[in-house]
Amino acid sequence: MTADKYQDLGKLLLRLTLGALILLHGVSKLRGGTDGIVGLVQSHGLPGFLGYGVLIGEVLAPLLLILGWHARIGAVLIAGNMLVAIGLVHLGQLGQLNEQGGWAIELQALFLGTAVAIALIGPGRYSLNGK
The residues spanned by each domain of the chain are 3-121
- What pTM did the predictor assign? 0.94
For residue 99, the model assigns a pLDDT of 94
For residue 95, the model assigns a pLDDT of 96
For residue 27, the model assigns a pLDDT of 97
For residue 8, the model assigns a pLDDT of 95
Collect the ranges in the chain with pLDDT lower than 70: 131
For residue 3, the model assigns a pLDDT of 86
Largest Cα–Cα separation, the chain: 54
* CA dist list (Å): 104 to 7, 22, 48, 65, 71: 31, 18, 27, 26, 28
For residue 131, the model assigns a pLDDT of 65
